[in-house]
Chains A and B, each alone.
Chain A
Amino acid sequence: MSVSTTGPDPVGISGPLHGVAVLDEGGRRGADGGPGGRRGPGRSPRRAGRQGRRDGPAGRRVLSRLTPYLFVAAAVGLLLLLTYLPAANMLWYSITDWNGLGPVENVVGLDNYVEVFTNPRILSVFGVSLYYFVGAFIQMALALYFATLLSFSTRFSNFFRGVIFFPYLINGVAIGFVFLYLFQPGGTLDTVLGWFGMTDPPQWLGDADIANYSLAGTSVWRYTGLNFVLFLGAIQSIPNDLYEAAELDGANRWQQFTNIIFPGIRRIIGLSFILAVSGSLSVFEIPFIMTGGANGTATFVIQTLQTAFSYRQVGLASAMAVVLLGIVLVVTWIQRKLFPDEKVDLT
């Protein structure tokens, strides 16, 4: 998730037009949802601050100094309580052998981290992530293909858009059941494959060699819609006259795709790629609901939560969570380096 509100403060565009221009930009941005425009808070806070200090007696001045803090108090309080305090605690638990009950007894230093990187049971979960990582690529390719297709005039395009996107909205447990049903021996998938002459289908979820493919496939089914909508939004924010110009120059669809669409949405593709990396490390719902992590389908998060809540090794689980967090932070840092938060310029 990149954030585009933290740009440098623009040096003042003054006068009454200031507000109007900003509103216009905000409105357009909202409408096309394209790669984020940005605007620093600019002059406004400073101006507002001066205004605040102007009003009268000392008591009111104290109150007006406190006002902003009162407005942010709840949000910041919750942020500290539920994000930073747990993160700090997690670091602390990760160097202990705490079981989650009673007081913390022993500090074991880096033992938990050594365990994370040497225990084959824990390391094997990274292998499981690879299935989802490859799945994420298939998912992005499909999403890009359909987004390109449906951004040009197509019959029933609203219907197809809706159908491709809808799975993203469905409850994870419901998706789990839908696919448990689909993958049943002698179930829907086997019947359909039977039509095509496949008479001896594998045990989709029972066979440890196949189970991860089935789960990653379910994950692709579930999340393609989100990538699709993001790509579609980005493609539609590309100005139409570029296509017209390209068509006048005799460019075909493929040339238009490689020269206009792809560069135009490069940033969102890059972002999706990075999200795919951290997403495939933190897969949880689909395998947990469908197999409970059996048959070698346990992911990092399943393993972490089982370690904490089933085996009561909160210390070790915290170390695992810290490692995962570390990887996600590194990946995000790389994303920021490769795709700095800026507008894509086509001209």
Chain B
Amino acid sequence: MTRVAPGVLKYASLIIAAVVVLLPLSVVLFASFKTSGEYSTTGPLAPPSNWFNLENFSIAFRQGGMVEGFVNTTIVLVVSLVGTILIGTMAAYAIDRFAFRGRRLIMGLFLVATLIPSVTSQVATFQIISGLGLFNTKAALVLLFLGTDIIAIYIFMQFMAGIPVSLDEAAMIDGANRWTIYWRVILPLLKPAIATVVIIKGIAIYNEFYLPFLYLPSEGMISTSLFNFKGPFGAQWEVIAAGTILVILPTLVAFLFLQRWIYKGLTAGAVK
């Protein structure tokens, strides 16, 4: 007899949660398909009369500079990810496999660095980036994404510790040097860690708002292109809605395909 009530409560709460999450997103989706006349006459919860009205999307895409945003984000994303993987795995390899002077100090430096929220040091970081002459270039963003990624190095170090040293030794007996071991043995074995880092960092870079806003004012990234909609499209909510949907869409697709790995990556990355 007490079985039924908890069951009802349980599903009721889950359904409420789903509505709370999906409702704000659905109304934006609705708005994105409405013509401006329709938008001003219908309520926000009324579905659009024509689900194939793609005009807002094309306005957002063309006038909102979203093409540029997607291209720039892709470039920065790919370069930063490749760089992070190479730099991070190399550091993890050295720290885990070599005994060298300063090893503990370096580990301590990485440890303390996790405590510094990067948004607090932007005031001073900005002076360094502009001192290097990188202000307003994509290189500034790449450099910042590479340099602030301590979590990735930790994930690599964790996985590194799980790769048996006997593999290195076997390769060494076969005459491989350190670089060959890293490139041919270690890097392929770190694939799961690399997948984790690509996912966590990929999400972070795609969603990053402040760094492009501050360091790359003249070109749009996904976030800043969308943010700029506030000006010219201030009153045209149907166009802003279309832009918002365009930005969310790739995330949704990636999520649907990579669900399991995303969960795993976050549980491995967020707590370490």
Binding site for B on A (CB under 8 A): 1-6, 16, 18-20, 22-23, 25-27, 29-31, 33, 35-36, 39, 41, 43-49, 51-52, 64-65, 67-69, 71-72, 74-76, 78-87, 89-90, 93, 100, 142, 145-146, 149-150, 154-155, 158-160, 162-167, 169-174, 177-179, 181-182, 184, 187-188, 191-192, 221, 226, 229-230, 232-233, 253, 268, 271, 278, 282, 284-285, 288-289, 301, 304-305, 308-309, 314, 317-318, 321, 324-325, 328-329, 332
Whether A74 and B90, one on each chain, are in contact in the complex, defined by CB atoms closer than 8 angstroms, is yes
Tell me which residues across on chain B come within 8 A of A43, comparing CB atoms.
165
Whether A166 and B113, one on each chain, are in contact in the complex, defined by CB atoms closer than 8 angstroms, is no
Tell me which residues across on chain B come within 8 A of A45, comparing CB atoms.
96-99, 103
Report the minimal beta-carbon distance from A130 to chain B, rounded to whole angstroms. 19
Whether A82 and B125, one on each chain, are in contact in the complex, defined by CB atoms closer than 8 angstroms, is yes
Tell me which residues across on chain B come within 8 A of A321, comparing CB atoms.
120-121, 123-124
16 A-B pairs (CB sep. < 8 Å): A27-B162, A33-B268, A46-B99, A74-B91, A75-B88, A142-B17, A155-B11, A160-B14, A164-B18, A171-B247, A177-B226, A177-B244, A221-B21, A284-B210, A314-B127, A329-B115
Tell me which residues across on chain A come within 8 A of B146, comparing CB atoms.
78
Tell me which residues across on chain A come within 8 A of B229, comparing CB atoms.
177
User: Does B28 sit at the interface, judged by CB under 8 A?
Assistant: yes
Question: 7 additional contacts, CB 8 Å, given A2-B272, A36-B158, A171-B223?
Answer: A5-B161, A45-B99, A82-B128, A82-B143, A149-B14, A169-B254, A253-B6
10 tightest A-B contacts by CB? A26-B162, A19-B164, A33-B267, A82-B147, A71-B94, A75-B91, A78-B147, A68-B98, A86-B124, A233-B267
Tell me which residues across on chain B come within 8 A of A230, comparing CB atoms.
266-267, 270-271
Report the minimal beta-carbon distance from A155 to chain B, rounded to whole angstroms. 8
Whether A71 and B244, one on each chain, are in contact in the complex, defined by CB atoms closer than 8 angstroms, is no
Tell me which residues across on chain B come within 8 A of A155, comparing CB atoms.
11
Whether A177 and B240, one on each chain, are in contact in the complex, defined by CB atoms closer than 8 angstroms, is yes
Report the minimal beta-carbon distance from B217 to chain A, rounded to whole angstroms. 11
Tell me which residues across on chain A come within 8 A of B210, comparing CB atoms.
284-285, 288
Report the minimal beta-carbon distance from B259 to chain A, rounded to whole angstroms. 7
Q: How many A-B pairs with Cβ below 8 Å? A: 323
Whether B17 and A160, one on each chain, are in contact in the complex, defined by CB atoms closer than 8 angstroms, is yes
A23-B163 contact given A68-B98, A69-B100, CB 8 Å threshold:
yes
The CA of A167 and the CA of B255, in the complex, are separated in Å by: 11
Tell me which residues across on chain A come within 8 A of B151, comparing CB atoms.
1
Whether A79 and B109, one on each chain, are in contact in the complex, defined by CB atoms closer than 8 angstroms, is yes
User: Does B159 sit at the interface, judged by CB under 8 A?
Assistant: yes
User: Does B214 sit at the interface, judged by CB under 8 A?
Assistant: yes
Tell me which residues across on chain B come within 8 A of A229, comparing CB atoms.
263, 266-267
Whether A278 and B117, one on each chain, are in contact in the complex, defined by CB atoms closer than 8 angstroms, is yes
The CA of A32 and the CA of B207, in the complex, are separated in Å by: 27
What are the interface flags for B207-248 relative to A under an 8 Å C-beta threshold, 1 for contact and 0 otherwise? 101100010000000111011010000000100110110011
A78-B87 contact given A160-B14, A226-B266, CB 8 Å threshold:
yes
Tell me which residues across on chain A come within 8 A of B107, comparing CB atoms.
5-6
Whether B13 and A149, one on each chain, are in contact in the complex, defined by CB atoms closer than 8 angstroms, is yes
Tell me which residues across on chain B come within 8 A of A177, comparing CB atoms.
28, 226, 229, 240-241, 243-244
Report the minimal beta-carbon distance from B36 to chain A, rounded to whole angstroms. 15
The CA of A27 and the CA of B158, in the complex, are separated in Å by: 11
Tell me which residues across on chain B come within 8 A of A184, comparing CB atoms.
44
Partner of A52, one of B98, B116, B214, B226: B98
Whether B115 and A16, one on each chain, are in contact in the complex, defined by CB atoms closer than 8 angstroms, is no
Whether A182 and B27, one on each chain, are in contact in the complex, defined by CB atoms closer than 8 angstroms, is yes
Tell me which residues across on chain A come within 8 A of B122, comparing CB atoms.
305, 308
Whether A181 and B27, one on each chain, are in contact in the complex, defined by CB atoms closer than 8 angstroms, is yes
Q: Taking each of A44, A74, A314, which has the highest tally of chain B beta carbons within 10 Å of its own beta carbon? A: A44
Tell me which residues across on chain A come within 8 A of B1, comparing CB atoms.
none
The CA of A187 and the CA of B237, in the complex, are separated in Å by: 11
Whether A75 and B153, one on each chain, are in contact in the complex, defined by CB atoms closer than 8 angstroms, is yes
Partner of A304, one of B6, B93, B120: B120
Partner of B10, one of A26, A149, A304: A149
Tell me which residues across on chain A come within 8 A of B31, comparing CB atoms.
181
The CA of A321 and the CA of B123, in the complex, are separated in Å by: 8
Report the minimal beta-carbon distance from A142 to chain B, rounded to whole angstroms. 8
The CA of A167 and the CA of B22, in the complex, are separated in Å by: 9
The CA of A154 and the CA of B113, in the complex, are separated in Å by: 41
Tell me which residues across on chain B come within 8 A of A76, comparing CB atoms.
91, 106, 109
For residue A64, which residue of chain B has the nearest CB? B178
Q: Taking each of A43, A145, A167, A253, which has the highest tally of chain B beta carbons within 10 Å of its own beta carbon? A: A167
User: Does B67 sit at the interface, judged by CB under 8 A?
Assistant: no
Whether A188 and B247, one on each chain, are in contact in the complex, defined by CB atoms closer than 8 angstroms, is no
The CA of A41 and the CA of B264, in the complex, are separated in Å by: 24
Tell me which residues across on chain A come within 8 A of B264, comparing CB atoms.
30-31, 33
For residue A218, which residue of chain B has the nearest CB? B24
The CA of A151 and the CA of B128, in the complex, are separated in Å by: 47
User: Does B157 sit at the interface, judged by CB under 8 A?
Assistant: yes
Tell me which residues across on chain B come within 8 A of A83, comparing CB atoms.
113, 116, 118, 121, 147-148, 150
Whether B162 and A23, one on each chain, are in contact in the complex, defined by CB atoms closer than 8 angstroms, is yes
What are the interface flags for B14-48 relative to A under an 8 Å C-beta threshold, 1 for contact and 0 otherwise? 10011011111101100100000000000111000
Tell me which residues across on chain A come within 8 A of B247, comparing CB atoms.
171, 173-174
Whether A301 and B119, one on each chain, are in contact in the complex, defined by CB atoms closer than 8 angstroms, is yes
For residue A20, which residue of chain B has the nearest CB? B164
Report the minimal beta-carbon distance from A77 to chain B, rounded to whole angstroms. 9
Tell me which residues across on chain B come within 8 A of A182, comparing CB atoms.
24, 27
Whether A67 and B98, one on each chain, are in contact in the complex, defined by CB atoms closer than 8 angstroms, is yes
Whether B120 and A22, one on each chain, are in contact in the complex, defined by CB atoms closer than 8 angstroms, is no
Interface residues in B51-66 (C-beta closer than 8 Å to A)? none
